[in-house]
Chains A and B, each alone.
Chain A
Amino acid sequence: MSFSVNEPSNRQKWGAGILVISYAIITLLPLLWIIATGFKSPADSISYPPKVLFEPSLEGYVNLFTTQTRASEETFEALGDPTTWYDEIVRKKGMVIVGPSRFSERFLNSVIIGFGSTFFAIVLGTAAAYAFSRFRVPLKDDLLFFILSTRMMPPIAVAIPIFLMFRQLGLSDTHAGMILLYTGVNLSLAVWLINGFIDEIPIEYEEAALIDGYTRFQAFYKVVLPQAATGIASTAIFCLIFAWNEYAFAVLLTSGNAQTAPPFIPTIIGVGGFDWPAMAAGATIFLLPVMVFTILLRKHLLSGITFGAVRK
């Protein structure tokens, strides 16, 4: 069919396009401002009135990745000339770099915990969802709703017993503990979503495979999984976004060892005052992985977000 009656007219398309693009630009402005702040000098970042045009500086990024201290004249003389560009930036402020900052560690923690918990939630969630979808499970619907309802608890509410439990088991402030926790939180969502996707795959495919001599496992692995891949991918995006950005549990249950980036970034303090460029730099770097992930999987976002919940 080349011509559909409800194909919008060109004028409608133009109008819609202009409205959507204006909204997109407005919504993008705060984000751009954050990214731009990362390239300002600390003085420019708090300039009054705010500066739209500024001389780009990498000071924020240098501050983000290094720890610095104020040094006396003698120290400077003993050190000699700065050897690197970042040394030079820091020296100009009368400071010296004394080591790396904790940011890279926190970022790495986010990667380990975010991707680790997503992996487990998806693997376990897919298996459970398959079972729910294909086998007779007593009280299935109630169980499914109950599983989902565990996500309704405010994180702070469950944080109390989890805090106590982790303290007993020695899981406080460990990667394993956080992966377990985020897996648990995401699992309910994953089961629910993937269950919806698998329900939509006609059961006849598997039956045919079983008749061809496949075992259940093979039928699951070779027939169902590829069919459900799109849905699983979009579920993975949502699990990752949650684990990546989670704050409440992270701030309460982690400290020196397993702390992720979200509780860390808002607290980057420079030489007295807030170091907005460093915070902005941290926020920008932190946004990149999910952004790339989202852009790569953007086609599947739509199917994921409906949560397979509104079923036909």
Chain B
Amino acid sequence: MKSRFLMANALLAATVLGAAPTAQAENLTLCWAAWDPANALVELSKGFESQSGHNMSFEFVPWPNFADRMLNELNSGGKLCDLLIGDSQWVGGAAENGQYLKLNEFFDKEGISMDDFIPATVTGYSEWPKNTPNYYALPAFGDVVGWTYRKDWFARPELQTEFKATYGRDLDVPNSLAELKDIGEFFQGRNIDGKKVYGAAIYTERGSEGITMGVTNALYNYGFAYENPDKPYDIEGFVNSKGAIEGLEFYKDLYDCCTPPGSSDWYMGANIDAYKSGQVAMQMNFAFIWPGVEADANVGGGKSGYFPNPAGPAGQFAQLGGQGISVVASSDKRAAALEYIKWFAQPKVQQDWWKAGGYSALRAVVEDPSFASSQPYAQTFLDSMAIVKDFWAEPSYASLLLPMQARVHNYVVAGQGTAKEALDALVEDWKEVFEDEGKL
């Protein structure tokens, strides 16, 4: 079956490429999430408009509704978006259902090489099936979960002395998740500048994908694996391995010991609020927020520092975020949309993209010697991108995500059952999905 879609896609791509680039000015719509980087892209795209003569419009959907709205759009064959910067997990479904244009021939023709991009982003955002050279997107925005901390609080002599006395080491960026928890405990309930503050803001959101994007940072590092590396979709003993159980227990301990009261349904926005209003010493969040933190009047300008997700007993990994840019197959303006991708892939444009606050995934940009020092968070971004792992990108990813949200939230936040029960139940849920899909 699958080969049929791939062929249909290839045909589609061929017809597009066969047509000579139209000189006709088109009105292209690019869809993405509504957040800071999107506004930066609007500015950046003015360069494309003046160069190509095409006109760009934008449709930005806020994060909580982004997946719902855009998948709805793709599934209804809508023509709203010509270009879509879609989440990494969508690539499987969009590729198999022929909703994204396959870009291989286009890349070959235009001399765009996926080797020029950070490998993790190519695998994460572009490939389907994973680890095969079938590309459905160009890595557009590299993103990864990392940590932000109050450098100014960490630097206070009285706190440093006290911390050293209690834990026998300096109050500094944690080297392991266990150390991170110590720091969280240290700050929890402490009075700083007349205000009660808390350890850390972590992802706990229930409705969309929040708690999954958070808990995986602990799970990976304690030994969780999505499947048997030798046997795809074999999950028993990997998803609920001993390490995975410990990882989940760690996340719950962290939630219980070190987070602000009421942080039971928090994701990106709420964590930023808590951090900016001075409630927490550390926050877990995607790297996209870092430019905003640096520029903030309360916590920016050197008051904040950044570090990658610390290691656990089984290694050091971080949850991948970020998106690739794809051409929507049902669009009538595919040729012009491809022109945009060609323009966007240029090193010069990618360089400007980074300057404007967009995390470029082009190696020429991030491997440039001046990159690491260009922003206080640039090195952390590089280190984090080197250790990423991503959630399932299966066509049925949503059916896999929803039970994970429910099971994990039920254990971590609601405190019901044990970690083992939660993961065992998750294994059953996932098996059922794979059975329905005919993968087991």
Q: Do A and B assemble together?
A: yes
How many Å lie between the Cα of A47 and that of B298 in the bound state? 12
Task: Name the interface residues of B26-69: CB closer than 8 Å to any CB of A.
Answer: 29, 31, 34-36, 39-40, 42-43, 59, 61-65, 68-69
Closest-CB distance, A50 to chain B (whole angstroms) = 10
| Mask: chain B, 261-283; 1 = CB below 8 Å from A; 0 = not | 00000001110110011110000
In the complex, what residues of A have CB within 8 A of residue B34's CB?
267, 269
In the complex, what residues of B have CB within 8 A of residue A68's CB?
39
Closest-CB distance, B351 to chain A (whole angstroms) = 14
In the complex, what residues of B have CB within 8 A of residue A166's CB?
76
Asked if B7 CB lies within 8 Å of chain A CBs, one says no
In the complex, what residues of B have CB within 8 A of residue A94's CB?
295
In the complex, what residues of B have CB within 8 A of residue A43's CB?
276-277, 297-298
Closest-CB distance, A261 to chain B (whole angstroms) = 13
Contacting chain B: which of A110-118, A189-197, A270-278, A300-308? A270-278
Task: Name the interface residues of A238-263: CB closer than 8 Å to any CB of B.
Answer: 251-252, 255-257, 263
Closest-CB distance, B208 to chain A (whole angstroms) = 12
Task: Name the interface residues of B217-276: CB closer than 8 Å to any CB of A.
Answer: 268-270, 272-273, 276
CB-based contact B36/A271 at 8 Å: yes
CB-based contact A98/B77 at 8 Å: no
| Mask: chain B, 70-103; 1 = CB below 8 Å from A; 0 = not | 0011001110100000000000000000000000
Closest-CB distance, B83 to chain A (whole angstroms) = 13
5 smallest CB-CB distances across A and B, nearest first, come from A267-B62, A273-B272, A272-B292, A69-B39, A272-B272
Interface residue tally for chain A (C-beta within 8 Å): 31
Task: Name the interface residues of B305-322: CB closer than 8 Å to any CB of A.
Answer: none
CB-based contact A48/B62 at 8 Å: no
Q: A173-B80, A269-B62 are in contact. Are A69 and B272 (CB under 8 A)?
A: no
Closest to A166 in B: B76
Asked if B337 CB lies within 8 Å of chain A CBs, one says no
23 contacts between A and B (CB under 8 A): A43-B297, A43-B298, A46-B273, A46-B276, A47-B277, A48-B195, A67-B42, A70-B36, A70-B291, A72-B355, A98-B42, A98-B43, A163-B72, A251-B65, A251-B68, A256-B29, A257-B80, A266-B64, A269-B63, A272-B36, A272-B272, A273-B269, A274-B269
The residue among A94, A252, A257, A273 with the most chain B CB atoms within 10 A of its own CB is A273
| Mask: chain B, 144-159; 1 = CB below 8 Å from A; 0 = not | 0000000000000000
Asked if B293 CB lies within 8 Å of chain A CBs, one says yes
CB-based contact B42/A69 at 8 Å: yes
Asked if A268 CB lies within 8 Å of chain B CBs, one says yes
Q: A263-B65, A267-B65 are in contact. Are A273 and B276 (CB under 8 A)?
A: yes
Residue in A173, A252, A272 whose CB lies within 8 Å of B269 = A272
Residue in B29, B31, B72, B277 whose CB lies within 8 Å of A46 = B277
In the complex, what residues of B have CB within 8 A of residue A271's CB?
36, 292
The residue among B64, B69, B291, B292 with the most chain A CB atoms within 10 A of its own CB is B69
Interface residues on B, range: 35 or more
The residue among A98, A163, A172, A271 with the most chain B CB atoms within 10 A of its own CB is A271
In the complex, what residues of A have CB within 8 A of residue B296's CB?
272
Interface residues of chain A, those whose CB is within 8 Å of chain B, are 43, 46-48, 67-70, 72, 93-94, 98, 163, 166-167, 172-173, 251-252, 255-257, 263, 266-269, 271-274
How many Å lie between the Cα of A252 and that of B297 in the bound state? 38
The residue among A46, A98, A272 with the most chain B CB atoms within 10 A of its own CB is A272
Residue in B76, B270, B295, B357 whose CB lies within 8 Å of A163 = B76
In the complex, what residues of A have CB within 8 A of residue B76's CB?
163, 166-167, 172
How many Å lie between the Cα of A77 and that of B110 in the bound state? 38
CB-based contact A255/B270 at 8 Å: no
In the complex, what residues of B have CB within 8 A of residue A70's CB?
36, 39-40, 291-292, 295, 357
Q: A69-B43, A272-B292 are in contact. Are A167 and B77 (CB under 8 A)?
A: yes
Asked if B289 CB lies within 8 Å of chain A CBs, one says yes
| Mask: chain B, 10-30; 1 = CB below 8 Å from A; 0 = not | 000000000000000000010
